[in-house]
Amino acid sequence: MNLQKYALKPLVLTILLGSMVVACSSDETSEKDSPVPEPDPVVEIDNASPNVVSNAVVPNNGGTGVSIGTSIKFAFNEPIEVSSVTTALDSTCGATVQLSSNNFASCVPLRSQIYRGNDNRSFTVYPVGNLDYNTKFELKLKKWIQDNAGNYLTNDLIPIVFT
């Protein structure tokens, strides 16, 4: 009787181990059944400085007979961070958009309200008062203007000279 007791133990162990192997193997999935992970999206990094679109500047460079009540329009090749486009109500030349008739020793005061296009590429500014007749003006866009990626203008731009 003693032998029978020991013969039964290996049989029970074999049955238990077999059921565990079957249970474990049925939960495994093959590589072909696994979903294929989607690739990471490609992210383009903008390292390019914005540029003024020369044919979108009004009055145009070299223009003469410009109205004394003119607005000044300019546009860029990409969206611009709106807060980086600033004007000054006084004659200091501390803003990023400057208009001068004396080589920037002082600036023409510009209204604080800056009109922008829906795409944040085009901007319009207005002098506080009328411009002087028969006077050469220069518009300077300072290098602190930046695009939405944080890239600044390469240098100060003087795209417009008009009378």
CATH code: domain of residue 89: 2.60.40.1220
Range of the domain at 160: 50-163
Q: In the predicted model, is pLDDT for residue 153 greater than 70?
A: yes
Q: Is residue 35 part of a domain?
A: no
pTM confidence score = 0.71
> Does residue 15 belong to any structural domain of this protein?
no
* Position 132 in a domain: yes
Terminal alpha carbon distance of the chain: 122
Ranked by mean pLDDT, which of 21-35, 36-50, 52-66, 96-110 comes out on top? Answer: 96-110
Instruction: Give domain status of residue 95, yes or no.
Output: yes
Asked whether residue 43 is domain-assigned, the answer is: no
What is the percent of the chain where pLDDT is above 90? 56
Which of 48-52, 79-83, 153-157 has the highest mean predicted lDDT (pLDDT)? 79-83
pLDDT (0 to 100) of residue 40: 78
**pLDDT score at 88:** 93
Instruction: Assess if residue 115 is contained within a domain.
Output: yes
Domain assignment of residue 119, yes or no: yes
Residue 148 domain-assigned? yes
Average pLDDT, the chain: 84
**How much is the pLDDT for 14?**
63
How far is residue 156's CA from residue 145's CA, in Å, rounded to a whole number?
9
Predicted confidence band of residue 38 (pLDDT cuts 50, 70, 90): confident
* Average pLDDT of the segment spanning 20-30: 53
Structurally, the chain folds into a number of domains equal to 1
The mean pLDDT of 145-160, rounded to a whole number, is: 89
User: Span 148-160, mean pLDDT?
Assistant: 87
